[in-house]
């Protein structure tokens, strides 16, 4: 079910340094509840019917960047208690529907445990299997998606793809959906109508950049009545200049500092039950800027979560 994909080692030779490579430990389904948060790699990118593949290399790149990142946050202290389940093994060459079902069989077992799953995608079609088990486990569930795209498109040739996961979840009964980072001129009118019809809270990148805390307040307000919240971090929420290493990079996006504050504040919510990073494509990257920026985003989320 899992392949162990990475041996965590800290590159620093200074004995005073503590990096994620020093603290992340391999674990399995039976042992994962010894940790507060557990990494789950998902090296899959075959849902790029629209867009370029390459996100299958995201989990490895995220682990490598994170292991050399120091654990200390000035206000929250050091991040600790992180396990790594390894990667969910799935062969290539199947339909996206089959892939989502196969991932779902594993994510159901991960969500059945107490530790917070931290999914390292992979393309954004994985948000469906990563969130779907929560709909059965809680009375009401909301998603806050940091993304330039809304991902509520219709199927193509009967298949889901990277642009469909939140429509799939809404149709399965997702109670609340908020998007932070939507781009002007990035979405077609029929999809805007769909968002309006389903009461989705859309916070543009411009609004988020203008007032980060107000944007977080709006996203939280949209989650007012839900019992469980999943946060999805599609790295293309970042501006093209900060994040060229992603399939569908969009201009007019957020800076790294803005995304870090949003992630950290959202993670402090007591109802957080899952987190995922998506669409990191190292082959498209320039000087590892997207990889390093995204890994630091993971650190901020973990820090916020552990400060609750």
Q: Is 48 near Mn ion (CB under 5 A)? A: no
C-beta closer to Mn ion: residue 27 or 256: 256
Q: How far is the CB of 300 from Mn ion (least distance, A)?
A: 19
Binding track over 120-159 against Mn ion, x by CB under 5 A: ---------------------------x-x----------
End-to-end CA distance of the chain: 32
Report residue 28 as tokens: 């399995």
Q: Distance (Å, rounded) from C-alpha 50 to C-alpha 47?
A: 8
> Which is nearest to 131 in space by CA: 147, 146, 111?
111
Q: How far is the CB of 149 from Mn ion (least distance, A)?
A: 4
State the Cα angle at 102 between 97 and 105, rounded to 5°: 125
Q: Distance (Å, rounded) from C-alpha 169 to C-alpha 163?
A: 12
Select the span of 112-120, 152-160, 167-175, 232-240 touching Mn ion (CB under 5 A).
Answer: 232-240
DSSP designation for 69: S
Q: How far is the CB of 191 from Mn ion (least distance, A)?
A: 13
C-beta closer to Mn ion: residue 42 or 84: 42
Helix (H, G, I), strand (E, B) or coil at 193: helix
How big is the chain, counted in residues?
308
Q: Distance (Å, rounded) from C-alpha 180 to C-alpha 207?
A: 9
> Which is nearest to 152 in space by CA: 186, 108, 106, 102?
186
Residue listed under structure tokens 């795209």: 149
Select the span of 21-29, 37-45, 236-244, 251-259 touching Mn ion (CB under 5 A).
Answer: 236-244
Select the span of 190-198, 234-242, 281-289, 299-307 touching Mn ion (CB under 5 A).
Answer: 234-242
Q: How far is the CB of 126 from Mn ion (least distance, A)?
A: 13
C-beta closer to Mn ion: residue 84 or 239: 239
Residue listed under structure tokens 């392949």: 3
Number of residues that bind Mn ion (CB under 5 A): 4
C-beta closer to Mn ion: residue 24 or 62: 62
Per CB under 5 A, the list member of 67, 236, 258, 285 interacting with Mn ion is 236
> Which is nearest to 52 in space by CA: 294, 279, 285, 293?
279
Q: How far is the CB of 55 from Mn ion (least distance, A)?
A: 11
C-beta closer to Mn ion: residue 67 or 147: 147
Please answer whether residues 127 and 166 qualify as being in contact, where contact means their C-beta atoms are separated by less than 8 angstroms.
Answer: yes
Query: For the purposes of burial, counting CB atoms within 10 Å of the CB of 188, is it exposed (0-12), middle (13-18) or buried (19 or more)?
Result: exposed
Q: Is 234 near Mn ion (CB under 5 A)? A: yes
Q: Is 45 near Mn ion (CB under 5 A)? A: no
C-beta closer to Mn ion: residue 247 or 273: 247
Select the span of 80-88, 213-221, 233-241, 292-300 touching Mn ion (CB under 5 A).
Answer: 233-241
Q: Is 67 near Mn ion (CB under 5 A)? A: no
Q: How far is the CB of 102 from Mn ion (least distance, A)?
A: 23
- Report whether the peptide linkage leading into residue 122 is cis, meaning its omega lies within 30 degrees of zero: yes
Which parts of this chain interact with Mn ion (CB under 5 A)? Answer: 147, 149, 234, 236
């Amino acid at each position: 079910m899992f392949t162990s994909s990475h041996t965590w080692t800290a590159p620093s030779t200074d004995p005073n340094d503590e990096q994620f490579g020093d603290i992340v430990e391999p674990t399995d389904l039976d042992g994962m509840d010894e940790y507060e948060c557990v990494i789950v790699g998902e090296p899959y990118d075959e849902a790029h019917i629209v867009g370029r593949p390459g996100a299958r290399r995201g989990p490895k790149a995220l682990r490598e960047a994170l292991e050399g990142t120091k654990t200390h946050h000035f206000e929250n202290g050091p991040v600790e208690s992180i396990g790594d389940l390894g990667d969910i093994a799935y062969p290539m060459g199947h339909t996206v529907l089959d892939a989502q079902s196969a991932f779902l069989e594993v994510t159901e077992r991960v969500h059945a445990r107490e530790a917070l799953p931290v999914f390292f995608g992979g393309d954004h079609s994985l948000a469906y299997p990563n969130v779907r088990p929560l709909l059965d486990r809680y009375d009401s569930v909301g998603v806050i998606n940091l993304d330039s795209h809304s991902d509520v498109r219709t199927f193509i040739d009967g298949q889901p793809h990277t642009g469909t996961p939140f429509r799939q979840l809404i149709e399965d009964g997702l109670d609340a959906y908020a998007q932070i980072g939507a781009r002007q001129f990035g979405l077609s009118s029929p999809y805007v109508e769909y968002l309006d019809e389903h009461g989705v809270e859309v916070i543009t990148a411009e609004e988020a950049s203008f007032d980060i805390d107000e944007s977080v307040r709006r996203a939280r307000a949209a989650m007012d009545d839900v019992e469980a919240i999943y946060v999805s971090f599609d790295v293309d929420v970042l501006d093209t200049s900060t994040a060229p290493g992603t399939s569908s990079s969009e201009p007019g996006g957020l800076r790294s500092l803005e995304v870090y504050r949003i992630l950290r504040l959202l993670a402090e919510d007591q109802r957080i039950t899952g987190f995922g990073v998506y669409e990191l494509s190292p082959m498209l990257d320039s000087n590892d800027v997207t990889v390093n920026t995204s890994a630091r985003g993971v650190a901020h989320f973990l820090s916020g979560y552990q400060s609750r």
